[in-house]
Amino acid sequence: MKSKRHSKIIEIIKSTAIETQEELAEELKKAGFDVTQATVSRDIKNLKLVKKQDNKGHYRYTIIEEEKNEMVDRLSNILENTVTSVENVEKMVVVKTISGSASAAAEAIDTLNLGEIAGTIAGDNTIFILVRSLEKAETLVSRILEMIEG
C-alpha cells in the first residue's frame, strides 16, 4: 500500500502544483487513499520532496531528482558558455576558458563529480585537473566535450 501511495504522490507532484500537505492529502483522498496529515508528512520525508518556488512565485512540492537535473543543466551551461578547449595530457586534463571564467568552470566540474578527479586548480583562464588514471582522463575529456558541444 505504501509503495502504491508513494507512486501516486510522485504522479500527483509531477502533474499538479501542490503547495501544502493538506492539498496533497486531498489529492490522495480523491485517488482513493485514506491518509492522515501525519502519513503525508512521513511520505514527503521518505520521498525527499522539497518545496521550490515556481515561475509565479508560489512554493510547490517537487522531487529532488528534478532539482538535481536542473542543477546539472545550470552547471553544464556554465561549461558550455566558458570553456574554449579541453586537452588530455597524461593523467592531467587542461581546460581553457574565456578570460576570468576558470574558477566558475572548475567549480562546475567539481560539483558535477565527473569521473575520478583527484583535484582541480583554476587560474584566470586555465584549469588543471588531476585525474587518478589515464583511462579516466580520456573519459573526462569526452564528457566535458559532450557538455560544451551541447
Mean pLDDT (the chain) is 90
Domains 2-47 and 68-148 share a fold: no
- pLDDT attached to residue 63: 84
* Residue 19 Cα distances to 52, 55, 68, 69, 106, angstroms: 9, 14, 20, 21, 36
Is the model's pTM score more than 0.75? no
Q: 1.10.10.10, 3.50.50.60, 1.25.40.10, 2.40.50.100: which CATH number matches 2-47?
A: 1.10.10.10
- Taking only the tens place, the pLDDT of each residue in 41-63 is 999 988 888 888 888 888 999 88
Every domain of the chain and the residues it spans: 2-47, 68-148
Span 68-148 CATH architecture: 2-Layer Sandwich (3.30)
